Amino acid sequence: MENGKPMSGPHFHVFLAVEKHKHPFTIGFLVSLSLLMSLSLLLLKTLLHTLFSHFPKQKDTLGERER
């Protein structure tokens, strides 16, 4: 009988745990969201850095400033 009921699997237990402890779940969700935001910002910074390093105009302006 349990094979025919997918709701009695691990997903259902996770849902019950979330329903019992809503506050820790929200805190964990916020923490994971902030971590994802910081990771995405780091990825954006590296992407922008690689994009600007490919353009030779940026190096030319830096060379003119030194003169």
Whether 58 has a pLDDT exceeding 60, the answer reads: no
Whether 7 has a pLDDT exceeding 90, the answer reads: no
Helix extents (H) in 1-67:
10-20, 22-54, 56-66
Q: 38: Cβ–Cβ under 8 A, 6 or more apart, which residues?
A: none
Domain ranges of the chain: 9-66
pLDDT tens per residue, range 9-41: 556 666 666 566 566 667 788 889 999 999 999
Cβ(22)–Cβ(30) below 8 Å:
no
